[in-house]
Amino acid sequence: MFRLPVTEKLDGSIDCTLMTPFNKKHVNGRLFLSQNYICFESRVKSLVSLVIPLRDIKVVENIENNVSNAELDKAIIVTTKNEMDKTNFLFAQVSDRDFLVRKISELLSRTQLPLHSFETLSLKSNGSSGDGQSLSSAEEMTTWKCQPPLMNLFPLNIIYDVAKKQKEKEKQWELHFNEFGRGVSMYRTIDIAKLVLQGIPDTLRMDIWMAFSGAANEKATYPGYYRSLVDQALLKQSTANEEIERDLHRSLPEHPAFQNSIGIDALRRILCAYALRNPNIGYCQAMNIVASVLLIYCAEEEAFWLLATLCENLLPDYYNTRVVGAVVDQ
């Protein structure tokens, strides 16, 4: 429903309303809690939905109704931490307000603990972390760095009409962000779906893809995991790594980013890391093309989490030995 990490479980729901500031209405729906998220879904499908990570919440408070306004009965306000862009979410007519506030407070106290350690994040097959090889020195761990979006390092020649349309789209999106919020916790309505269908401008693709796919939540849950995985994967000898090496120079060879060791090395790291993360899939043809496109628009670690989310959540069974998902869709 909300593109949360697969480890999250929605622990029941409570009827309530959500005040939507963009139209100043109180929308009927259900509030869901998991161990690390507050979510809301309107009763009217696709009218509005909301995902608030507990990691972003500063405080949850009861709001007393002193104006005899039935719409504000049993209300709570959720305030986020961002001092530069502090956001308040107002839920009202909460059927069991005291229990909800107490439960959220308990969950918030747990979020002060460290997030999941990458050492404990099991791999997709059997929890194995590979062949047990370890780095021979600390120096090897620092011989690479995550790359920014490759379109920033290897810009293409500007085409005036294309650049003009990109700027127009950016303005439309900025206006939408000003009204509906930005990032994981923006108000999600049919308006955002229309904007997506009109095309996401290049400069916003990473942020939008990360927020709406759920990959941003996965990345935030496992800090340091990608670097740890790469350090193991680059030392591992496997069939998947050999296949990846053969395909590296066949991945968007016409793009300048992949005529250069910077792009090729980043692509190698992502593909080898994912093959180690998920041995059931390992490496499949066309993965290199998808990862190359992600690297053009996204920073390296974000591209890794997007690839993982595509393969495991958005397009399950597309990338395996039988490509069942692709065959079914065709």
Which pLDDT score, from 0 to 100, does residue 95 have? 87
What local confidence, expressed as pLDDT, does residue 325 receive?
82
What's the confidence (pLDDT) of residue 63?
A: 87
Token couple for 60: 């949850």
| 3-state secondary structure at position 158 | coil
pTM of the predicted structure, to 2 decimals:
0.87
- Mean pLDDT, range 251-260, rounded to an integer: 93
pLDDT given for residue 110 in this prediction: 83
Q: Give the range among 59-73, 268-282, 304-318 with minimum mean pLDDT.
A: 59-73
DSSP secondary structure string for all residues of 64-105: ---S--GGGTTEEEEEES-STT--EEEEES-TTHHHHHHHHH
Cα distances from 315 to residues 20, 185, 298, 307, in angstroms, run: 32, 24, 19, 10
Model confidence pLDDT, tens digit, residues 170-204: 999 999 999 999 999 999 999 999 999 999 999 99
> Which pLDDT score is estimated for 127?
40
CA 283-7-308 angle, 5° bins = 20
Reported as a single tens digit per residue, the pLDDT across 76-96 is: 999 998 766 678 999 999 988
Query: Locate tokens 């047990």: which residue?
Result: 132
Cα(272)–Cα(230) distance, integer angstroms: 7
Residue 115 has pLDDT above 70, yes or no: no
The confidence band for 136, taking pLDDT boundaries of 50, 70 and 90, is very low
Query: At 297, is the secondary structure helix, strand, or coil?
Result: helix
Name residue, tokens 């209300």. 75
Per residue in 140-160, pLDDT (tens digit) is 455 899 999 999 999 999 999
Lowest-pLDDT choice from 38-47, 110-119, 162-171, 213-222: 110-119
| Contact criterion met (CB below 8 Å) for 290 and 260 | no
The structure tokens listed for 314 are 């958005």
Q: Can you tell me whether residue 39 is helix, strand or coil?
A: strand
Residue 153: strand, helix, or coil: helix
Mean pLDDT, rounded, of the chain: 88
Q: Which residues does residue 41 pair with via DSSP β-bridges, in sequence order?
A: 30, 49
pLDDT tens profile 282-295: 998 789 999 999 99
pLDDT > 90 in the chain, percent? 74
322, pLDDT greater than 70: yes
Q: How far apart are CA 125 and CA 118, in angstroms?
A: 16
User: Nearest 5°: phi and psi at 152?
Assistant: -80, -35
Q: What's the confidence (pLDDT) of residue 129?
A: 39
Average pLDDT value for residue range 130-136: 38
Q: Are 148 and 253 in contact (CB under 8 A)?
A: no
In this model, does residue 256 exceed pLDDT 50? yes
Residue 138 has pLDDT above 70, yes or no: no
Query: 319 vs 100, which has greater pLDDT?
Result: 100
